[in-house]
Structure 1
Amino acid sequence: MADEWSREPVWAQWRRPGPTAAQRRHDVWLALAALAGAAAVTVLVNSMGAMVFDDVVSMPEQLAWGAALTLPLVARRRFPVAVLLVVGALLIAAQARQVGDNLVPSVALFLAMFSAGAWGQDRTRARWARVAVIVAMFAWLGFGLVRFLVRPAPSFEGAAGPLDPVIASVLYGIGFNLLFFLSSYFFGDMAWESARRQAELEHRAEQLRRSQEQNTRGAIVAERVRIARDLHDVVAHHVSVMGVQAGAARRVLDRDLDLAREALRTVEDTARTAIGELRGLLGVLRADQEEVRDKEGETSSPGLDQLSELAELARSAGLDVEHGVYGDPRPVPEGVALSVYRIVQESLTNVVKHADARKADVRVRFLENSLEVEVADDGRGSKGTSVGRAGFGLVGMRERVAVHGGELEAGPRRDAGYRVRARFPA
């Protein structure tokens, strides 16, 4: 498998990890259980006299053969191919030695062949090792059948089937061994394939978890950027207007009380508006979108209809603002409308604070395939604007436009002043 989760492993070349400590302990218990079974079956077979061969070795030697055939299973998952070859060779040797029992040795060989298919790291080696053992076993079976056929045929008392008893015995031996070896081969491969698929599923699950974490982190960062952008738009604009009006009130306080009173009233209204927008923003952060909808089903976010209010607020700061809408107005998505509002708000804020301008134009154009908003002034251009210095205002504008797949142009005008133009696709 790949060392890094970000790289996709080649699953056709997957290698099964070695057994865990718990699996190795299970193998020890399995080998001990097989050893106990071999001893018990040997005692029972000898007690019944139901020997596989006519002349068998002594019981202690039979027990020793049983131990030799079962104890290698301790390492069946760590060294599966070696265990298979050892158990296969010992089984042939035990049968040549004419051990009394053949049941437990056959079970040990089945487990060894299954383990080679399920745990063999080198799939080619595991495959050919199993094939070699199967060929050797059938060669040994063929040798036994030939020896059985050349000897005088035993008496098959009670035989009543349609086949000759000798032929039936040969077919039974071949069929049983085919089923035995093919099933151990098949189930071993199936266990290995199951482990590979499980590893692949775990890999996919880990990839999904990491992707979800990355998406969550991205969403958190995007939300922080959005919050910072909205706070900047709300606070910077209103505080700028309040600063201009407060300065005007200070300058005319001793000469024109009515004008000073009007300027302070504008400061008061602007502060209330800023507080209202901040509360609305905090409400959106604290609640789901459905919870911040009003009774008419509309959200409280500002949009195109509030652009005239921005223009009026800028006029109160001493800026001559012309606001015009061109083309056939049509409904636009709420997010686009909010972005247009914030772009105009930020642009007018920069004009009031930095441009030293007398006049500004706010134009909204409903084009055939796009919505365009433009804010231009007759001030000092890039030298006097925060947008020209690529501050947070320009960054926020670009982010807002990019979210909707639009374009932003910002720069000095040819004659004088500065222009911000944003275009949103329809």
Structure 2
Amino acid sequence: MTSETADGWRRPGPTPEQQRVDLYAGLAATVLALLSLTLAHSTGTFLFGPPPSGFEQLVWTVAVPLPLIWRRRYPAVTTLLISAAFIGSQVRAVPEWQLSQWALFAAIFTLGAWGRDRRLSRRVRVGVIVAMFLWLAISYAINLSSLPPDAFADAIGPVPPLIAAIVTGILVNALFLGFAYFFGEIAWIAARRQHELVEQAEALRRSQAEAREHAVVGERVRIARELHDVVAHHVSVMGVQAAACRRVFDKDPDKARTALSAIEESARTAVDELRRMLGVLRARDSEPADAAQQVAGIAQVEAVVTRAREAGLQATLGVYGDPTPLPESVSQAAYRVVQEAVTNVLKHATGARMLDVRIRYLTQDVEIEVTDDGRGSRESNADGLGLIGMRERVATHGGELEVGPRAGGGWRVRVRFPLPVPAGRAT
């Protein structure tokens, strides 16, 4: 008796706390019914005729409200028991009926609100309501024959008194039983909607947790990429300068001092970039992004070329076309691509002497090309962190990346970043 509804949901059974509440409520209703019976005897109100023996009256009076102690655990069984006891008590002319009818209302309502088999719940409630109206019709038929001739002697209304009495009874019972059915349905729908809200809140919480996790992973990747770009480039430059210093330290002290100065400058620059990067990471969204404004961009590419020149390469920089202001993120990505490409030349290009960096501002793109004349293949480094970082940066901005050997020897890195279309310009 726990089949699911059409949408796959069924209401869970009552909690232990709710079962304790039902126990206390059922016992309280039983006590009040006994009190109502006592008051009926005290006033001599015997609407259904001479009552049975006192013991039988007690049995019927207790039998109607007592099953309420199981109303949420077994709502269908409780409704059937209370309905049968209610009709039985009226057949036996038990004078207590006020608390009994409210016990019947509570049973029908509970079956609508807690019945886990919705089809059975509706059938039982409709069956009980039909049975109540059948009993009402039978009771009218029985009592009509015993009405005294002067039962409606004081009637003055336009409706025949007998018809008025019957219609009144039907209307009152229809409203009473209809409200029990209606409010039970409303309570069940409210419980289902509450369940849906809880499920949606849980789904939202999981979605937010996943979004936070993705954000953390993305931030870790970004930090790793920035650290690699900053540290690898400057350490590579320092390594080349240190090797040059070692070779000429005894023969040419002036060149050694120049190399040491370049090492010092590279170290200082690396520390400055690390500080700027940490400043960006620490800055809150609500604070002025002073550190972010200092992040290296395409305007600092010349400094990278200069450091490569100081490391012993014949490095040149060419800018073609009309320079266009780039979004900060694109500008930084372009700078990092050049920095990584130059780092790879210093670390992996055997015998490289020439380095050429070109920036071309095209109509819809900005193109950056870094070439060298180094010997040997760099395919073994194709999956290194540096090239992975370049691919990620370019893909983030919808660009294109080409990395590979040149036809005439050496290596080439070419990247295109799409430029934002100014307002009013046709695409």
What band does the TM-score fall into relative to the shorter chain?
over 0.9
Percent identity between the two aligned chains: 51
- Contact residue 52 and residue 102 of structure 1 kept, 8 A: no
SS in 1 for 2:401: strand
Q: Return closer, same or farther for 1:290/1:247 CA change in 2, 3 Å cut-off.
A: farther
Q: Match of 2:160? A: 164
Distance 2:251 2:5 in 1: 84
Q: How does 1:74-89 map to 2 (within 5 A)?
A: 74-89=69-84
- Contact residue 321 and residue 361 of structure 1 kept, 8 A: yes
Deviates more, 1:362-371 or 1:152-161: 152-161
Q: Which of 389, 394, 397 matches 1:396?
A: 389
TM-score (norm 2): 0.93
Q: Which of 98, 112, 118 matches 1:117?
A: 112
Q: Match of 2:414? A: 421
Distance 2:282 2:76 in 1: 63
TM-score (norm 1): 0.93
Distance 2:397 2:128 in 1: 68
Report how far residue 74 of structure 1 moved. Answer: 1.3
Distance 1:123 1:163 in 2: 42
SS in 2 for 1:220: helix
- Contact residue 241 and residue 263 of structure 2 kept, 8 A: yes
Q: Deviations along 1:131-156, whole A, 9 cap, x unmatched? A: 11111111111111222334435523
Q: Which of 1, 14, 19 matches 1:19?
A: 14
In structure 2, runs of 5+ residues without a counterpart are: 420-427
Distance 1:258 1:292 in 2: 45
Q: Deviations along 1:225-260, whole A, 9 cap, x unmatched? A: 111111110000001101111111111111111111
Structure 1 residue 305 corresponds to structure 2 residue 317: no
Q: How does 1:244-255 map to 2 (within 5 A)?
A: 244-255=240-251
Deviates more, 1:37-46 or 1:97-106: 97-106
- Contact residue 372 and residue 422 of structure 1 kept, 8 A: yes
Report how far residue 298 of structure 1 moved. Answer: 7.0
- Contact residue 369 and residue 414 of structure 2 kept, 8 A: yes
Q: Return closer, same or farther for 1:289/1:115 CA change in 2, 3 Å cut-off.
A: closer
Distance 1:370 1:212 in 2: 36
Deviates more, 1:404-413 or 1:174-183: 404-413
Q: Match of 1:344? A: 338
Q: Which of 232, 237, 246 matches 1:236?
A: 232
Q: Match of 2:25? A: 30
Distance 1:258 1:289 in 2: 49
**What is the number of equivalent residue pairs in this alignment?**
414
- Contact residue 45 and residue 101 of structure 1 kept, 8 A: yes
Q: Return closer, same or farther for 1:140/1:11 CA change in 2, 3 Å cut-off.
A: closer
- Contact residue 371 and residue 423 of structure 1 kept, 8 A: yes
- Contact residue 325 and residue 364 of structure 1 kept, 8 A: yes
- Contact residue 397 and residue 417 of structure 2 kept, 8 A: yes
Q: Which of 264, 268, 286 matches 2:282?
A: 286
Q: Deviations along 1:2-36, whole A, 9 cap, x unmatched? A: xxxxxxx9972310011111111111011011101
SS in 2 for 1:301: coil
Structure 1 residue 216 corresponds to structure 2 residue 223: no
Report how far residue 61 of structure 1 moved. Answer: 1.8
Q: Match of 2:424? A: none
- Contact residue 245 and residue 263 of structure 1 kept, 8 A: yes
Distance 2:292 2:24 in 1: 71
- Contact residue 11 and residue 200 of structure 1 kept, 8 A: no
Report how far residue 327 of structure 1 moved. Answer: 2.5
Q: Deviations along 1:93-118, whole A, 9 cap, x unmatched? A: 11111111111111111111011100
Structure 1 residue 135 corresponds to structure 2 residue 139: no
In structure 1, runs of 5+ residues without a counterpart are: 1-8
Deviates more, 1:323-332 or 1:13-22: 323-332
Q: Match of 1:335? A: 329
Q: Return closer, same or farther for 1:210/1:182 CA change in 2, 3 Å cut-off.
A: same
Q: Return closer, same or farther for 1:292/1:130 CA change in 2, 3 Å cut-off.
A: same
